[in-house]
Structure 1
């Protein structure tokens, strides 16, 4: 520590650098939420910031393109502060969508961002590149209530922001190494009731298509982003006295499909469990745009296989088995003795004593038919039947009984 004297004030100033432990403590304080403040009324939370901090007018497209996420290595790069500042300014212009590149000259953009801008009018949101992919999945993470996070071993983090503007990039240092997997399970548990209200998640195997869909964070990222955009584009403008006007270009023409207008305000996109739940429902609605999600669910349910289910009982499995066996309840195949009824017989009907076998016996070969007749005649021991039929042991009879049962099940199951 080096102490110096401020000659103007005569005060001692401390110029020592912070230790790594002090820096980490500060970062933790900024990163993690205070458990006492993470109440159902205040948590979870995500907010947006208005471009009015930097711009009086923005370019507003009539039909904004859906945003795409592009990751950048914001740690360990040259001119790191310059890249961060450019990313913050670029993302703050979320309202400009695909036209935001027109606010920047080539020399003012870092090389990695310039490569994207040179592709033309594309709507890109830049986020820091991390192993956990926290910044891409932050909109999903910050929709989960405190109880869900804790149940899946996820930390309570401070409110999220959309789009990303600034923050501590080394988030991987504070997150579980399997953060993405835990978040996947947590998100699936949050939306499962909307995908299958009759059966619990555990009733399905890990390979079940709908279960895989519920866990697929990349599937849910576009609809949650669309839900956020719907909220943002419904916000009022900062200065309602500024009229919308055409956007002039350097060649004297005007930019087609856009107007210059006052930026929209910044605000909480959601705060508390109730508002977050509404955004989850809005996310599901966007996932089902034009019946997309329902089409997937219907297709899967109509083509289920036994491997889609776990060992746990469920209504879905019961319905599957009913359809599979074409009956509403389990039926054992038996030979029925008709004593007081008049049987309706076809040309292939065969009657032995008072037992009607109907057309079924016509399906059996002579040896199988002989087994059935002997059983009916009172021979119940396999060794006795085998001896009468000329076999040395009961093994052939056992095998024929298996085949007879299969044919009986197929025959009577179709009736």
Structure 2
């Protein structure tokens, strides 16, 4: 009995065509990684060598940085077949090594109308990706650097792996992704990259409007550097045929193409495989973002111009440094928390006595939690552990840190000019 292949990729015989359920199960298996995927195998991304089609490619001596352009895959122009656009995109993207010169591999008839506007601009380095609602293919390099645990934490699916650059799509990936995929990836990426930006201070210690926190969530900012890192990895791979010599690129008019040579394509390979390699690529991405000092300049500028509203109520080393600079003065008094005796001392006209506790304008400098600590200490709760328990903390560490900040504020407030 003759076997053929259904367009879904499933085998089909003369007496059995795959059911909708079988097709769905096959496609899901093609998209999703097994939940048991180990940290040595996941996350993963790979590249397909152009040597499957080309023996020689054009390689520019100074490749232009690539840009991403989205195109609809469905629908064909006049005189075009359904697969003309997808196949042209696959061929175009496979020539990533040719960079800005890849247009020269196509005749006028080979470029579908959807790609023509870009191709007619001449020597431009563009990576085409499908236009999707979720923008999965645009952010694929960032998404596939995220660990299994990070994806689970943000409610993202465990997709099998990512191919860079995009070549072909058998079915729409949007059907397997949450509607707010881009937003979830933004939060997941920010959580993963944060330790490279402000070590020692958790993201929750900053307000939602903090500039560095916004930068960490901006996927479009991180896409160029991760793409540059991917190409650095690929350019370090050996060529498929070392016997193919690099030569000048001849043109139809008898001249040669300046700034380029012909060469054997490089091999395809995993770009990264497993959490350790993905973590290293993420670190390289941060380094690449700062290759010209741009990222470092942004971070330094933000740190130098921080305001109180940049922080949340959570403690952090960054906030402690900020407050140290804000309240820094030469200390002339020693601040202690002591219980008042029954004899009420003479206070200034701006103070108010309630029970055994003296309130002054100083308490206005404290936040709600800090005021609670002061009041509890004076009300007879003398052990820091007891204060922590009353306020709902698991240990005394948060109270100790708050006391340290309260002492600094008190020293700054009561200091004699």
- Within 5 Å, give how 1:9-408 maps onto structure 2: 14=14, 18-36=18-36, 38-77=37-76, 79-327=81-329
> Distance in 2 between the 1:261 and 1:32 partners?
36
> Distance in 1 between the 2:147 and 2:167 partners?
24
> Distance in 2 between the 1:138 and 1:329 partners?
54
- What SS does the corresponding residue of 1:257 show, helix, strand or coil? strand
Could you tell me how far 1:68 is from its partner in structure 2?
Answer: 0.5
Structure 1 vs Structure 2 CA RMSD: 3.0
**Structure 1 residues 311, 57: CA separation in 2 closer, same or farther (over 3 Å shift)?**
same
Q: TM-score, normalised by structure 2?
A: 0.76
> Distance in 1 between the 2:313 and 2:330 partners?
21
Could you tell me how far 1:325 is from its partner in structure 2?
Answer: 2.0
Contact 1:203/1:309 (8 A) holds in 2: yes
Contact 1:201/1:211 (8 A) holds in 2: yes
Could you tell me how far 1:278 is from its partner in structure 2?
Answer: 1.2
Could you tell me how far 1:330 is from its partner in structure 2?
Answer: 11
> Distance in 2 between the 1:245 and 1:93 partners?
18
Could you tell me how far 1:189 is from its partner in structure 2?
Answer: 1.1
**Structure 1 residues 204, 77: CA separation in 2 closer, same or farther (over 3 Å shift)?**
farther
Q: Which runs of 5+ in 2 are unaligned?
A: 3-11, 336-344, 352-359, 366-410
Q: TM-score, normalised by structure 1?
A: 0.77
1:88-137, Cα deviation, whole Å (9 max, x unpaired): 00000000000000000111110111110111100000000111110010
Could you tell me how far 1:13 is from its partner in structure 2?
Answer: 5.1
- What SS does the corresponding residue of 1:166 show, helix, strand or coil? coil
1:19-56, Cα deviation, whole Å (9 max, x unpaired): 443332221111111122x1111111111011111111
Contact 1:322/1:328 (8 A) holds in 2: no
- What SS does the corresponding residue of 2:150 show, helix, strand or coil? helix
- What SS does the corresponding residue of 1:246 show, helix, strand or coil? strand
- What SS does the corresponding residue of 1:289 show, helix, strand or coil? coil
**Structure 1 residues 90, 413: CA separation in 2 closer, same or farther (over 3 Å shift)?**
farther
> Distance in 1 between the 2:289 and 2:416 partners?
41
- What SS does the corresponding residue of 1:258 show, helix, strand or coil? strand
Could you tell me how far 1:198 is from its partner in structure 2?
Answer: 1.8
How many residue pairs were aligned? 344
Contact 2:331/2:415 (8 A) holds in 1: no
1:357-398, Cα deviation, whole Å (9 max, x unpaired): xxxxxxxxxxxxxxxxxxxxx976969x9xxxxxxxxxxxxx
Contact 2:154/2:184 (8 A) holds in 1: yes
Contact 2:327/2:412 (8 A) holds in 1: no
- What SS does the corresponding residue of 1:327 show, helix, strand or coil? coil
- What SS does the corresponding residue of 1:213 show, helix, strand or coil? helix
> Distance in 2 between the 1:109 and 1:231 partners?
29
- What SS does the corresponding residue of 2:240 show, helix, strand or coil? coil
Contact 1:51/1:264 (8 A) holds in 2: yes
Contact 2:328/2:412 (8 A) holds in 1: no
1:143-188, Cα deviation, whole Å (9 max, x unpaired): 1111111111111111110000012451111101111111111111
> Distance in 1 between the 2:48 and 2:13 partners?
36
Could you tell me how far 1:17 is from its partner in structure 2?
Answer: 5.2
**Structure 1 residues 136, 414: CA separation in 2 closer, same or farther (over 3 Å shift)?**
farther
Could you tell me how far 1:83 is from its partner in structure 2?
Answer: 0.7
**Structure 1 residues 238, 318: CA separation in 2 closer, same or farther (over 3 Å shift)?**
same
